[in-house]
Amino acid sequence: MTPMETIKRHDTGAAVEDVQQRLATIGLLDQAAIDGAFGEQTAAAVRAFCIQAGLPAGEDVTGKVWSALVDASYFLGDRTLYLRMPHFHGHDVEELQQALGALGFACGANDGIFGAYTELALRKFQLNLGLPSDGIAGAYTYAAIRNLHHSWEGKEAVHEAVHLGFARAADVLESNALCLFGTHEFTRSVASRMSNLALATSPASKIVSADSLLVKPDQEMLLVHIVLAEEATAEAVPRVSFDDEATLPLRLETAIGVADAAASSRIAVELPGTMWEDAGEGRSAQHFAITLLDALCSALS
């Protein structure tokens, strides 16, 4: 591969204009200065970029500087991202990682590299929103992220679980109508235990299991289907993974928001199995019930 020729002061032409366009895109050069001539303003902008990017200070655009400049001038949604070799890298990848992390889908370090951890987080996010879980950041995924911009812009990744006090939890239970159900003996047990816990917290709770409903749930009631990994759910139904209890409320909040906007209000929550640590089946079901009810209350508050 032929090394790139250094672009430097007094050069002119399309290559210089391309450098200027990218410097303008990242806010280091005025649009009016894009003229295809490498003068003092362009040199100053290149120096500022090198310092910003952690490169040796200089005003020449070497191959290394050019590569960093290209990475920095991509913004979220500019290109389709997916796992490949060599990995995609750039500012748009870092923005994607920041958004996913703030929404509760940890990518590891926000390093601007689309690796295996980022793909896994993206797949979980897509599943959470009822999108095809293909690990490809394309038009539909970007649209979903933009629709949730108020939930992630300017926010850091969540690292701690949020717990409600008794009074706030009771208020949430009395204000939100949810029908919990499972199609497996263990998941039905979890749903029933959640209903019992909710009623013990507040006798006026509207969060109940399907087994305790006396009438068919109406359209105002959010259906929460508790499933195991091997159980399939409808493609468009947001599916929330129980793993990472610290971010579970945030991911549930996102899924509920998507379900509320849909004609059929329904989400699925996937349990990691029928066993929690070394506890027996009963204690495991109780742990999942307590944790999931607490997370739902936080998400709905």
Strands of 239-241's sheet in order across? 207-209, 178-182, 222-228, 266-271, 239-241
174: burial class by Cβ within 10 Å (0-12, 13-18, 19+)?
middle
pLDDT, position 2: 57
β-pairing verdict for 178-182 and 207-209 = parallel
CA–CA–CA angle 177, 180, 184 (5° rounding): 170
Percent of the chain with pLDDT over 90: 59
CATH class of 11-73: mainly alpha
- Please tell me the predicted confidence (pLDDT) of residue 170: 78
Output 165 or 119, whichever has higher pLDDT. Answer: 119
Alpha helix positions (H), 53-90: 63-72
The average pLDDT across 107-126 equals 91
* pLDDT tens, residue by residue, 172-228: 888 888 999 999 999 999 999 999 988 888 888 888 898 876 666 667 788 999 999
SS3 annotation, 145-172: HHHCHHHHCCCCCCCCCCCCCHHHHHHH
**Better-predicted residue by pLDDT, 19 or 221:** 19
- The mean per-residue pLDDT over the stretch 58-74 comes to 93
pLDDT in tens, 47-62: 999 999 899 989 999 9
pLDDT at 264 over 70: no
Tell me the per-residue pLDDT of 233-259, one tens digit each, with 9 for 90 and over. 888 899 999 988 889 999 999 999 888
Residue 163 phi, psi dihedral angles, 5° rounding: -120, 140
Q: Residue 61: helix, strand or coil by DSSP?
A: strand
Q: What is the per-residue pLDDT for 59? A: 92
Domains 11-73 and 81-151 share a fold: yes
CATH topology of domain 81-151: Muramoyl-pentapeptide Carboxypeptidase; domain 1 (1.10.101)
Q: What is the pLDDT of residue 1?
A: 44
Q: Tens of pLDDT along 72-104?
A: 999 999 999 999 888 999 999 999 999 999 999
The residue that leads in pLDDT, 113 or 219, is 113
Q: Please state the pTM of the whole predicted model.
A: 0.75
Domain boundaries, the chain: 11-73, 81-151, 166-300
Average pLDDT over residues 266-282: 86
